[in-house]
Structure formats: structure tokens, C-alpha cells
Structure 1
């Protein structure tokens, strides 16, 4: 392994050949870095960009943003697109309400507030009061709520805050009567919420150890531990409940049963869908110590605890049922041999389950659209929840003794409305409906089915103005994700609405790697089968062209995170099929992703370059960074990332953009937009969302020469 440290400063910005509109990119210094994987050497000339805190990398960020800002500012589509996006973003939005301690809680954003505000009310008819306003926590709106959990009596609120889009959280406790925070402060929390004991004396949470002086939290050197925090005591006195020193991939999610007598502990391992399950007795609703008892730690399937009913633990699982089923476990005899099926696996994928009002509400996906079925305590099917249409519904939370629950419903062309469901009568009533200037009556959504390279059939949803003319000239934006068991279903977003308002067609593809059809669908897009995901997305693009919705000159692709990987890989494999590509916060270096922050946890979907020669070859074959082709005309590319992203670190996008700019890929622009003081996207303030996403749409419109008024 060789590493040259010469030329410590960036070269001056110089012009490159054949660049559109006289574009000049910064010349990115190369180093003589070579790695060996199973006998194969791979160059990594931009390794130095992995240090996003170095002065040289920061200077590179400034120079790249100067080039990108100049290009974007010159686009005539930029200002009118931002105006449309702002107008459409400016509508009242609500979260799904939940009830605790005789209070209702929900969040609301008046339209352009940087962060949504948490409200509370004793009845749904009362004037709600502000429980917590994160907008008061920072001047620029970059501090966001990462979670809110009221105590059982509704008097206290545990809440998490995160800054600049980071995954790291600090948890505090607020007295809702006075509006003042208690002295309690919990730090080094990531990927965890809080679960109160029924007595209100404290809560469970998971965190990592604070780094030692001079060290950084990196990779698997640190691992998550489950603690109990008792109110009024310092964090240093918190009680360790569970950890696994031998397997540092363990993480913990917790929930206290409705009766307060049991802590349900989901043990996750990396980012895979398979998990373990443990329980810890809480005598009289209090934490008295003790060791969690395993229900299963085989990690052979997904086990999602639903409720404890009559001494039975109800669990949603895909054990021997890839599309999901509901089982009952006798807590006195929890051995797998005694598990009983309450609701058997059916033809549709069970994606959620809750226990409310003495009923089980089971959520399914049927060709990527939501169905909700109601079952009795003995598992017998009773009825279905009547939804407004073919779209996406979510929520249905609550307790076994509650009489009501709430859910949201949305489609590609209708913003999410909030509904109340009376469990006993089955009546659905509207609670909150957003008002927007977007006229959904002018547009329609249709579901079509695409056949992939290997014959697999999957749905796409096409939103467009009614009466769309199929002449192949429609500016079309295709979105996808394809990973980590995450289902892509039709739901309203301002990005799609703005693109429709601009005269475009918006398409989402429910491809393999997601959870649209259950465990087998997810696994068909992982590890050595990851190419299926890219084949599906390419097939969706080809379908749109063949059916004259679009043409290669009017088709753009977009995706974020794992979807950024998707866009990067597909752009390399079929640069002729698209006019523009926008990978957001993408995983671009598939040979080294596991070395950064939480990247090691993604190996369940990707595998790693160290696993085997076969896995290395598969990763190298599609890694966006390693397959950029010189001498081939690429579509216009706008890479986006955040300099504070500690999930998919910006080095992925930095190295990818530098490689793309250095290659001979034609005259179309190859730009990177780097948001400063921002992370992976969660909690991003409204102003930054509008600026970034409107720039993306304006860039695509500019490439397609679409006039925006």
C-alpha cells in the first residue's frame, strides 16, 4: 500500500475540455493509494477526501460549491422553480395524534416553519397548547426533535434533539405543566428512543460510550448498550440493562407493555430485518433490576412485538412465512415449540400490526398500496378499514384498551390527511385535512406493471396531468430506492407536486430490495443479488420510453442514500437511457463503505469487500465510484450531500464527484452541491429543504430545456 502526501494544497481551478457552458471544475489532487482485495489491486486516488475535517477538504468543498452555485444561479429555471416549490410547501401539516395520560399529542407545521411544533390538548375539540417548539432552540432551525415520549401520566415529556442533521441525539425531560426542563440530560444516544416505566420514575434508552479523549466514534469499535435512567440522577449512575461484548453489532429497541409489567426488547443486528426478542419483568410497573430473558436470539427471522394480551406475547413475524403472520407466545412457556399462529400468512405482505380496542389492526401491501384488516382477539378476521383510495396509510397506534386510533392517508397527488378510527363501530372520520394550492383534481395516478430482465414483475406509479399525451416528449422524473426492506409506496411530496406543476410526469418504482412483497422480495435485492435492483430500475426507465411516456432526452432519475447508490450504479450501466441523474447522499464507494460510522451495519444488505472474492467482485462490478467510464457520454449529474452527514459520510459523494469530473464523460455538467451545516436529511430545516430540492428540479428542467413560469 502506497500513499503520497505531496502537493498539500489544491491546484487552481482550471478549465476542462468539452464542458457545457464553459464549465471549469476544480482540479482534485490525486494520491498514489492502492488497496489489495483478494489479490486484486484497486486504486483510490482521492482517499484524502475521506477526511472531511481537513483544511484541504474544506477548501475543496468551497471551490466545488462556487462552481455549482455559479451554474445554478445562471439557470433561468432556478427562481421560478423555487417560487413554485415555496408556494406548494407552504401548507399546514400534521402528524398522527396519539394519547397518553389523558392528553393528545401531535405536531403541526404552519407551512414554512423550520421545524414542526409539538402540541397537546385534553380533548380533540380543545384549543391545543404548545408542548415543545424546537424553533426556539436554534437561530437557523437546524436543531430538530428526534423523538418525543410522554410519561404514562402525561405530566413529563422525554424528548430527543439532534443538530445539523446528525444521527447523534441528546435527550432531556420537560415538565409539561411548567414548560421547564428538568436537570436530567442523556447524551451519546443514536438509533434509540425512550420507554418510560409505568411509575414515571425513569425510562429505558440505548446509547454508545462517550469516546475517550483523542478518539472518535468509528465503525464497530463502539457498540450500543441498553440503560435505565432514573429521574433526578446523573447519567453516570444509569443502570446497565443489556449489552453484548462478544457481538458488537447488537442494538436495542424497547417498549413497555400496556399493563406496565413487562419490558419488550427488540435486539437488532446491523440493518437487517432479522432480529432477536427478549423480555424483562417490571414488577408493579417499576424497574427493579434483573436480567432480560430471551424469547429468541436466533436472528433467523423478523420478530416485532405487538402487545401483551392475557399473558400472551403477540408478535408479528416472518418466521416460516415470508409475507408475514401473527403469532401468540405463552410467556409462561415461551419455547418456540409452543408458539401458536393467530393470523396465518396470506397472499399480501403484512407490513405492520397493532393492538387497539381489543382488536388487531394488520396493515398489508397489495401491489405496493395499503390495505388494513381488522381481526378479533382470537385471530378471526372481522372487517377492513375503509381507506379513501389506492394509496398509502400508516399509524393505527394505541393500547389494547383504547377505543380509538388515528391514521394518515396519502397518494401521489393528495397530501396526507389524518383520520380517526372508532375501533368498535368501524367508523372513519376526518381529523385534519391540509389545505394546499395544489389542485389534485387536475392530476391522476395510475399503477402499471413492469417486467424486469429476469422476468420479475413489479409495480410503478405514474402521476401526471389528466389527459397526458403519450408522445415520448414528457419531462419525466423517476424515483427509486430498492433496499433495506423499505417499501416505496405512493405518497404526496412537495417535490413531486412541484414537478407536476412544472408540467412534468412523476414516477415511483417499487423495485426489489424493498419490503413491498415481503422478506423474499427484500432478499432478492441484497448481496450477490443486488444487481436485480438495478435491472428493475433500468426496466422501469425502458418501460417509460417504450410506452412513450418519456424518451432518453426527457427522462431523469433521482434517489437518496441507498437510492443514491441506485442512481449512481444505473447511470454507469445505462448512461444512454437518461438525460439527468441526481444521486443524493449516496453510498458510492462499495469497497470501503463499512469503514465509516454506521456503515458496517449495512453489510446485511450489501456484504463487504472483505467477505469473499465472490462478494468483492460483485461489489466492484456495480460500485458507482469504481465504474465511471471515460469515453462515454453521461447524462447531466448533480450530486448532493451534507458536510455533517454522519450516516452516509460525505466522502462517498466527494470521491464520486471528483472521479466523475476527471473522467471524459461528455459535455453535460457533472456538479456536486454540498450543503454546509447539514447531515443526512432528517430534521433538515424548511429553508434548506426548499433550496436544495428546488435546485434539483430546476437543474433537471434546465437540462431538458423545460421552460418554467
Structure 2
């Protein structure tokens, strides 16, 4: 391996004092945008040169890249969406950088390419983000994401001709788009940022607008805004019949919303408050006439279904389907039925109810995995859903709520046999005795007599649940003889509000304890072994990895912190960071400040302690978790005396927080990262003999 010589990173005398505590921040200059400050750009170039030199020397990296390419190379479909006589769906032939949008007339019609984003950018990093057909299917709103940024551009397409109109909407972020009528749509946007501040400035003054087709954005009609509360976000949607517009307002990442309703039959579109106070979660299911249906956690931590007649003088919510032991994640009206998606120990259930709240059946999912979709509308009994597991990419099914019949719509042909792998679920005790669920995946014939190199993944925050799902890059790790473990840490949404509350704010340390306990379980039970355990996490999970490497450097052999939140004292000063105070707390409040300082990765690096090998990854255009977090953290880690194991950073260009990343960049990135983790956990990456064996098994299975 090449000798690692880290770039000398300039230290500046920057010290902040809060609540009597002096906190040094010598690398604050690395917070500057790489596109604005040439000094930061030069530092990025130097760090990438060191990382590239090291990664280029890793054994098995090219084999991993080849393995991932084969694993990505299968035809895959997105969930179809019906509008008028048309069905819209995405398709990727395997190695396309971006999936292509197709349309067909009738379910059995021939697909026609409608939008192909693969020619939009030479590097493949401009993506088709979202799309919404009009009710008759003749027009399509679609949104464009460039270079991984959270900013979106809205365009309009004529489905018959495939031609774009002249309409273009800028500065949309963190919102949905919905048709109001055949002449226009509603969307939310922020004001245009000042020059040079688009990728770092705080996002304030979200507003809801109506855009009339064929007009300039400057003429759009302002529907709803709260200038007296610039921190609020607003997202608008319409009931399927177009009768009511619902505006959901939020102040952070917590599912605590205010609801404002507009009767669209009133030409003034006068907003009326339906729910005041940011106290509970409200998900609109749909409306039938003046009766609206919602999922809520009001007096139901694991959620329930309620209804309300908004035409009443004093609308009141009525319980329809009560809370139960499993966590309710979503509900949709399809035909004259309601499909409820539940989560039981991080696995999917799907049940069918009538509109009076009586259970009438269920969707048979057959195995442990994740079901998603079930979108539909009243009066049409047809819906589609996807089902995936750790070893099976998403197969698409058509389900009819009138007949309860399921039909396969699309199932991919694979370069391996899923039957060769096994998934188990265990429940292990955390530091305080709380039982934490964890999935463990590996080859059925894997030799565990000495413990195997294991990749432990976690998140633990923002009420986000980690459920079984397929990853081509992760499958390359499994094919190579590694174990994959996924822990459902507190802070997530797997068991409702109490589980989320148990891992945030002053309880955040529970998340790190849960993760460490997962590692201890894997080693104690012979699944992994000392020196063979790597950890990985993204975003809030990157924070998890950074904090875990600081707190338990003895436990792990290697860590990958991706696009992590690493400076817990300044996260709320950039782009979307201000929303995260719901989970992390407010750095300007003394109690929160002192708590954040106990685990902030940037501030808790232990000088003189031997650290595991660490690879940090981020992107120069990440405007969700700005790359300055990762820059400052790796600079501090490299400057400290933490032993000889490498501490490097991989900085991608024109790739943001993760979404929209082209296939070739994913293969390049994860062959680097998993080769790094394999090398430092003792996983030997063999040649393609294993894939040939898998292909033989697959052929025999057919």
C-alpha cells in the first residue's frame, strides 16, 4: 500500500464561546463553497489525490466494480401510474445512468419512450426527478434535478407529441406539484437566492403558487404564504376530484403539521384553517365530496385513520380505524376500499378495509420484505405495488381491490440466485436493556466458524424506518462473502412515536449505544469477529458513524461516513439544516448545546487513541448536508494522533446528497468504498468464479 501523506490543512485561530464554554473551530474556512473559494477547491483537489492514490492500490476493487456492473445490469421498472387511458412508468434497461419515462395506451399497450434524461448532461448527473400526469393523461408536469442538488426545475410536456411547452418554474425545493385543472397547477417555492448563495444559504419564506399554463413564472398567483413565520414550509395537494386543496405546513423535520384547506369552488380560493398548532402528524388519504380521510398520530402514537366533514360549521375528526400494535405507515383509497400499509418489526403488512372502517381482506406478500405503492383513487379498483427484500429487487404487481386478485406486472431477471442467500432477524439488548431488531443477511453456505467480515449499517433518526430493500452495491459485498447487518436503532420510526423520541434530542446517545450493542452482538455470537466489523451510514447515519468511531474505536475495524452531519454546533446555519433542530436540538440553547457537544464528531476526536480505518464521502454540490461538515471532520481526524490506519475523504463532483446519482458514478463510488472496507476487515475479493456459479444456479433454477 502507498504511504499516506495527508495534505497540510491550514489551522486558523477561530474560537467561539457559548455558555462559558470555549470551542475551537480551526477549520471553519472549509465551510466555504468550493465553487466560490479557490482555496477550498485546491484543498479538495489535494485530498482527492491522496484518496485516489490509496484507493487505486486496493486489491479487488476492479473485481468489485465488475461485479456491481453485472448486478446493476437488469431491466427494472418503476411503479405505473394511470391517468385517462394512459399508463406512465419508468424503465431502466440495466446500465443506463438515469431511468427513462415511458407511456403506453392501455395496460397491454406498447411502451413509448416519453422522457429520456440520459442525454441531458455529458456526465449523466442531470436526472428526471418527479412527474405528475394530468387527470386525462394528455399533459405531464415533470421536475429536473441537476448535479444532485435539492433545487428542482419544473417543465411541462405534451404527452401526444412529446414536446415541451415554454413553461419553466425555478427555485422549487421540498415540495410536491399537483394539477388544479387542465390549465394549471399548484407548487411551492423559495425566493430566488442571492448571487452565489444558492447552495449554502438558509431556506426561508416558502410560498404556494398557482401557475397557469402558457404564462411566465413572474405572473404566478400567490396562494398561501406566512411572511410573519418565514421558517414554515408549505406543501399543497388536491383531492382526486379537485374539490379541495389541502396545504400542509411544517416548521422542521418532525411530523407536526398545521392544515389549511381551500374550497376550490370558491373563486377567491380563500384559505381556512382546519388544524391549528404544530402538535400532530396528518397525512391526507383523499377526499370524497366534503369528507376527507387522514392518517394521524393524535392520541395514537402508532397512528390511526380518521375522517372529517369539512363542510360542517365546526368540522370534527372521527376515528375510523383504530391504532393497533403494528405501526401504520400509509393509507390509500383504491376503488371503494382502503389499503393500509403497516410495519411489524420493520417488515411490511398490507390490509384492506371498506370505507366504513371494517377489515375485508389483506394483500398476501408471502415473505419478509418491503411493500410500497398502492396508490389509486376512488372509483378505480386498480393499483400497483412493489415488493422487495435484501436479496430480491422490486417486483411490480397489479392488485384489484374489487376481486382481490394479484397479477405480476414486471419481475427482473437476475445475475444471481436469491435462494442462495438467507435473511434472519434478531433482537439484541442495548446498553439500557431495550431490545433492538436487526436483520442479518449472508450466503447460506457462508463459513461463520471464525466470524466473517461484516458490514453493519444504521441510521437512527428523523422517524425514518430502515426496512428490507435491495441494493446492487450491497449485493456485491454479499457475493464476495461478506455479511450485511442492518440495525433498527431508536430515533427511527419502526415502532412509532416512542421509538423516535427514544433516540433524539437529549436521548440521542441511545442511538450510538444501540449501534455499539449491535456490533457487540455480532462479535459475541460469532457472526463477525474482532477486526472484521465495518460500519456505514449516510447523512444522519454519517453522524452515527463519526460519533461511533469516536466513542468505540476499539470495537470497529473500519467505518464509512457518507454525507454526514459532523459539526453539531453549526448544522443549523446552512440550507436545510435549520429543520433538523427537531431531532438534534437548538445549538443556541444551553441544554441542547451541552448535549450536542458531548457527541459532535468534529469536536470529540480522541488524540492519542488508535482509530479504525475511516473513509468519509461527500459531494461538492451537496446542498442538503453541506460538504463543509465532512471537510472539517476529516481535516481534524488527519491532524490528530489516531494511529496508522488511513483516514481519507472521497469527494465526488456534481453529485449531491444522493438522489439522482448516475449508475456509473454509483459503481465507481461503491467499488472504492467497499474495497476499502473489505481490505480493512479481511474480506478477500475473489475473481468472477462466484458469479459464474451463481449464474449456473440461476439457469438450473429456471
- Whether TM exceeds 0.5 here: the answer is yes
1:703 is matched with 680
Distance 1:217 1:661 in 2: 27
Question: Which among 466, 481, 489 is matched to residue 488 of structure 1?
Answer: 466
- Pick closer, same or farther for the CA change 1:331–1:213 going to 2, 3 Å: same
TM-score using structure 1 length: 0.95
Matched, 1:264 2:246: yes
1:545 is matched with 523
2:285 is matched with 306
1:172 is matched with 155
Aligned residues: 684
Partner SS state of residue 269, structure 2: coil
User: By how many angstroms is 1:619 displaced?
Assistant: 0.3
Question: Which among 90, 105, 118 is matched to residue 107 of structure 1?
Answer: 90
Question: Which among 123, 127, 137 is matched to residue 154 of structure 1?
Answer: 137
Matched, 1:316 2:298: no
Distance 1:706 1:403 in 2: 50
Distance 2:543 2:141 in 1: 36
User: By how many angstroms is 1:472 displaced?
Assistant: 4.1
Distance 1:708 1:40 in 2: 48
Question: Which among 242, 261, 269 is matched to residue 279 of structure 1?
Answer: 261
2:696 is matched with none
User: By how many angstroms is 1:636 displaced?
Assistant: 0.4
Q: How does 1:295-374 map to 2 (within 5 A)?
A: 295-333=274-312, 335=314, 338-374=316-352
TM-score using structure 2 length: 0.96
Q: CA RMSD in A?
A: 1.4
Distance 1:174 1:394 in 2: 27
2:54 is matched with 71
2:26 is matched with 45
State whether residues 15 and 23 of structure 2, in contact with CA within 8 Å, keep that contact through their aligned partners in structure 1.
Answer: yes
User: By how many angstroms is 1:90 displaced?
Assistant: 1.1
1:684 is matched with 661
Partner SS state of residue 519, structure 2: helix
Question: Which among 4, 8, 13 is matched to residue 32 of structure 1?
Answer: 13
State whether residues 317 and 324 of structure 1, in contact with CA within 8 Å, keep that contact through their aligned partners in structure 2.
Answer: yes
Question: Which among 547, 550, 562 is matched to residue 584 of structure 1?
Answer: 562
Distance 2:338 2:531 in 1: 49
User: By how many angstroms is 1:704 displaced?
Assistant: 2.3
State whether residues 281 and 298 of structure 2, in contact with CA within 8 Å, keep that contact through their aligned partners in structure 1.
Answer: yes
Distance 1:707 1:412 in 2: 22
Distance 2:684 2:433 in 1: 39
State whether residues 558 and 614 of structure 2, in contact with CA within 8 Å, keep that contact through their aligned partners in structure 1.
Answer: yes
State whether residues 408 and 416 of structure 1, in contact with CA within 8 Å, keep that contact through their aligned partners in structure 2.
Answer: yes
2:184 is matched with 202
State whether residues 479 and 508 of structure 1, in contact with CA within 8 Å, keep that contact through their aligned partners in structure 2.
Answer: yes
Question: Which among 164, 168, 186 is matched to residue 185 of structure 1?
Answer: 168
- Pick closer, same or farther for the CA change 1:213–1:690 going to 2, 3 Å: closer
State whether residues 204 and 231 of structure 2, in contact with CA within 8 Å, keep that contact through their aligned partners in structure 1.
Answer: no
User: By how many angstroms is 1:609 displaced?
Assistant: 1.3
Distance 1:246 1:130 in 2: 46
User: By how many angstroms is 1:266 displaced?
Assistant: 1.6
Question: Which among 652, 662, 670 is matched to residue 629 of structure 2?
Answer: 652
Distance 1:513 1:606 in 2: 11
Matched, 1:138 2:121: yes
1:288 is matched with 267
User: By how many angstroms is 1:614 displaced?
Assistant: 1.5
- Pick closer, same or farther for the CA change 1:86–1:399 going to 2, 3 Å: same
- Pick closer, same or farther for the CA change 1:215–1:66 going to 2, 3 Å: closer
1:10 is matched with none
Question: Which among 191, 205, 208 is matched to residue 223 of structure 1?
Answer: 205
1:4 is matched with none
State whether residues 470 and 547 of structure 1, in contact with CA within 8 Å, keep that contact through their aligned partners in structure 2.
Answer: no
State whether residues 220 and 248 of structure 1, in contact with CA within 8 Å, keep that contact through their aligned partners in structure 2.
Answer: no
Report the more deviating stretch, 647-656 or 246-255.
246-255
State whether residues 273 and 484 of structure 1, in contact with CA within 8 Å, keep that contact through their aligned partners in structure 2.
Answer: no
**1:532-566 deviations in whole A, cap 9, x for unaligned?**
11111111111101101001211100010011011
- Pick closer, same or farther for the CA change 1:449–1:234 going to 2, 3 Å: same
User: By how many angstroms is 1:39 displaced?
Assistant: 1.5
Partner SS state of residue 113, structure 1: coil
**1:119-158 deviations in whole A, cap 9, x for unaligned?**
1111221111111111121221111112101111111111
Q: How does 1:348-497 map to 2 (within 5 A)?
A: 348-497=326-475
User: By how many angstroms is 1:212 displaced?
Assistant: 4.3
2:595 is matched with 618
Distance 1:212 1:403 in 2: 48
Distance 2:370 2:502 in 1: 23
User: By how many angstroms is 1:334 displaced?
Assistant: 7.1
User: By how many angstroms is 1:111 displaced?
Assistant: 0.8
Distance 2:370 2:193 in 1: 42
Report the more deviating stretch, 93-102 or 247-256.
247-256
User: By how many angstroms is 1:335 displaced?
Assistant: 4.5
Distance 2:619 2:203 in 1: 24
User: By how many angstroms is 1:457 displaced?
Assistant: 1.1
1:235 is matched with 217
- Pick closer, same or farther for the CA change 1:38–1:333 going to 2, 3 Å: farther
State whether residues 485 and 522 of structure 1, in contact with CA within 8 Å, keep that contact through their aligned partners in structure 2.
Answer: yes
**1:659-699 deviations in whole A, cap 9, x for unaligned?**
00001111110000000122111101111111101111111
- Pick closer, same or farther for the CA change 1:215–1:424 going to 2, 3 Å: closer
2:585 is matched with 607
User: By how many angstroms is 1:494 displaced?
Assistant: 1.0
User: By how many angstroms is 1:495 displaced?
Assistant: 2.1
Distance 2:371 2:238 in 1: 25
- Pick closer, same or farther for the CA change 1:215–1:166 going to 2, 3 Å: closer
Distance 2:302 2:99 in 1: 35
1:255 is matched with 237
Distance 1:352 1:216 in 2: 34
Question: Which among 672, 690, 702 is matched to residue 649 of structure 2?
Answer: 672
2:479 is matched with 501
User: By how many angstroms is 1:217 displaced?
Assistant: 6.8
User: By how many angstroms is 1:326 displaced?
Assistant: 0.2
**1:43-78 deviations in whole A, cap 9, x for unaligned?**
000010001331111000000000000001011221
User: By how many angstroms is 1:427 displaced?
Assistant: 1.2
Question: Which among 503, 511, 518 is matched to residue 489 of structure 2?
Answer: 511
State whether residues 360 and 374 of structure 1, in contact with CA within 8 Å, keep that contact through their aligned partners in structure 2.
Answer: yes
Distance 1:579 1:256 in 2: 51
Unaligned runs of 5+ in 1: 1-19
2:693 is matched with none
User: By how many angstroms is 1:223 displaced?
Assistant: 1.8
Unaligned runs of 5+ in 2: 687-702
State whether residues 472 and 545 of structure 1, in contact with CA within 8 Å, keep that contact through their aligned partners in structure 2.
Answer: no
1:641 is matched with 618
